[in-house]
Amino acid sequence: MAKIKVTQIKSKIGATTRQKNTLVALGLRKMQATVEHEATPQIEGMVAKVLHLVAVER
C-alpha cells in the first residue's frame, strides 16, 4: 500500500469535537506534527474530514 504523510498546519481551536477526535486518532497532537500512515480507505476518510486543518503528501 502507498504511504501518506499528514501534517497539522492549522490549530484545532474552534474545530468541532468530532474533528478534534479525528486529529487525535490520526496521531496529531500539536501544530506542525507529522505522521505517516498507510493510504487505506479508513485513513483517507479521516483525512477528508479534517482536510482544512492538515496538509497531505502522497
Could you report the per-residue pLDDT of 6-44, keeping only the tens digit for each?
999 999 999 999 999 999 999 999 999 999 999 999 999
Grid cell 496521531 in the structure block, residue:
27
Indicate which CATH number applies to the domain containing 18: 3.30.1390.20
Report the C-alpha gap between 47 and 55 in whole angstroms.
9
Say what the pLDDT of residue 24 is: 98
**What confidence score (pLDDT) does residue 27 get?**
98
Q: Which domain does 26 fall in, by range?
A: 3-57
- The Cα–Cα gap between 50 and 42 comes to 13
Averaged pLDDT for residues 42-55: 98
Rounded CA gap, 35 and 10, in Å? Answer: 15
Number of neighbours of residue 15 by Cβ within 10 angstroms: 16
pTM across the whole model: 0.94
The pLDDT, as a whole number, for residue 1 is 84
> Looking at the 3D structure of the chain, how many domains does it have?
1
